[in-house]
Amino acid sequence: MTKRALIPVERIERSILMLRNHKVILDAELALLYGVGTKTLLRAVKRNRERFPGDFMFQLSPREFQDLRYHFGTSRLWGGRRYRPYAFTELGVAMLSSVLRSPRAVRVNIEIMRAFVRLRRMLQGNAALARKLANLEQKYDTQFRVVFEAIRKLMSLPEKPQRRIGF
């Protein structure tokens, strides 16, 4: 009998961001998932700093923090963060299970690891499809060029339209 997921996988996948060519989850999101305060999570990490080298966790640069603030619409004056968040890679999230020892933390950690693996499989599948498409394109002549370009457009991530500022 399988236990029901504590947190939906889709919720975890929405929390995963791409920063510095790494799939990461920010400290505040992890704290929400684990059911602890961000301050509590970071305190536990700082007490065990030797377990979190640079490829496990890093603090966002001022520019990255500013970009995220604009992206999420966080105000600097009325709430929001005053300090730069930490980003945890897949390895850092795995290490958190040894730092946060509650039963909920263990269950959430398992679900987060499954979400990372699922995303990795999806990306590998997309890369394999791109290689096959390139091979097919080399094999066939220019009469199918339009078809290949249409397929490439479908495979690429849609660009979000920029919101207008002002009236």
pLDDT at 1: 41
Would you say the C-alpha torsion 137, 139, 141, 144 has a positive or negative sign? Answer: negative
Is residue 138 domain-resident? Answer: no
Residue segments in the chain with a per-residue pLDDT below the cut of 50: 1-2
Torsion of the alpha carbons at 31, 159, 164 and 85, rounded to the nearest 10: 20
Is residue 38 domain-resident? Answer: yes
Is residue 88 domain-resident? Answer: yes
Range of the domain at 32: 9-126
Is residue 148 domain-resident? Answer: no
Q: How far apart are CA 18 and CA 113, in angstroms?
A: 16
Is residue 85 domain-resident? Answer: yes
Note whether 111 and 5 are within 8 A (CB). Answer: yes
pLDDT at 119: 77
pLDDT at 115: 83
CATH code of 39's domain = 3.10.260
Is residue 113 domain-resident? Answer: yes
Structure tokens at 43: 């305190």
pLDDT at 156: 67
pLDDT at 97: 78
When divided into structural domains, the chain yields a total of 1
Is residue 76 domain-resident? Answer: yes
DSSP letters spanning 45-94:
HHHTGGG--TTTEEEPPHHHHHHHHHHHT--SSSSS-SSPPEEEEHHHHH
Is residue 132 domain-resident? Answer: no
Nearest by Cα to 38 from 48, 51, 28, 25: 28
pLDDT at 76: 53
